[in-house]
Amino acid sequence: MEILSGVFEDLTTGAPITLFIRNRDVDTRPYEILRRLFRPGHGDYTYFKKYGHFDFRGGGRYSARETAARVAAGVVAGKMLEPLGVKVVAYTLELGGIRAGCIDLDLVEKSPFYCPDPVSSQRMEEAVSNTRKEGDSLGGIAEIRVTGCPAGLGEPAFDKLDADLAKAVMSVGTVKGVEIGAGFEAARLKGSENNDPITPSGFGSNWAGGILGGISNGDEILLRAAMKPIPSISQEQDTVDREGHPSKMNFTGRQDIASIPRIIPVLEAMVKIVLADHYLRSKTIP
Cβ closer to a copy of itself: 106 or 241?
241
Contact call for residue 199 and a copy of itself (CB under 8 A):
yes
Which secondary structure element, helix H or strand E, spans residue 198, and what is its range?
strand 198-199
For residues 86 and 146, give the distance between their C-alpha atoms in angstroms, rounded to a whole number: 7
**Nearest approach, Cβ of residue 207 and a copy of itself (Å):** 8
- Of the ranges 77-85, 105-113, 118-126, 230-238, which one interacts with a copy of itself (CB under 8 A)? 230-238
Interface with a copy of itself, residue 229, by CB under 8 A: yes
- Please, which of residues 99-138 interact with a copy of itself by CB under 8 A? 131, 134, 136-138
Nearest CB to a copy of itself, comparing residues 106 and 223: 223
List the one residue from 33, 139, 221, 266 that touches a copy of itself (CB under 8 A).
139
Q: Is residue 195 a contact residue for a copy of itself (CB under 8 A)?
A: yes
- Interface residue with a copy of itself among 76, 237, 253, 254 (CB under 8 A) is 237
Q: Shortest approach of a copy of itself to residue 87 CB, angstroms?
A: 20
H or E stretch including 118?
helix 118-134
Among 128, 215, 263, 271, binds a copy of itself (CB under 8 A): 215
Distance CA 56, CA 215 (A): 40
* Least distance from a copy of itself to the Cβ atom of residue 121, Å: 17
Tell me whether residue 142 is exposed, middle or buried, using C-beta atoms within 10 angstroms of its C-beta: 0 to 12, 13 to 18, 19 or more: buried
Main-chain phi, psi angles of 223, to 5 degrees: -140, 160
The answer to whether residue 233 forms part of the interface with a copy of itself (CB under 8 A) is: yes
Rule CB under 8 A: say whether 28 interacts with a copy of itself.
no
Q: Is 93 exposed, middle or buried (0-12, 13-18, 19+ CB in 10 A)?
A: buried
Q: Does 13 bind a copy of itself (CB under 8 A)?
A: yes
Residue 42 engages a copy of itself in binding (rule: CB under 8 A): yes
Our finding on whether 213 is near a copy of itself (CB under 8 A) is yes
Q: How far is the CB of 94 from a copy of itself (least distance, A)?
A: 6
205-229 in b/e form (b: 16+ CB < 10 A) is ebbbbbbbebbbbbbbbbbbbbbbb
Scanning residues 45 to 74, which ones bind a copy of itself (CB under 8 A)? 45-47, 49-55, 57, 60-62, 66
Site for a copy of itself in 239-258 (CB under 8 A): 239-240, 244-246
How many CB atoms within 10 Å of residue 262?
Answer: 15
Task: Give the closest residue to 22 by CA, choosing from 48, 2, 36.
Answer: 2
CA pair distance 143, 156, nearest whole angstrom: 25
- Taking phi first (over 0 means left), then psi (-120 to 50 degrees means alpha), and beta for anything else, what does residue 260 get? beta
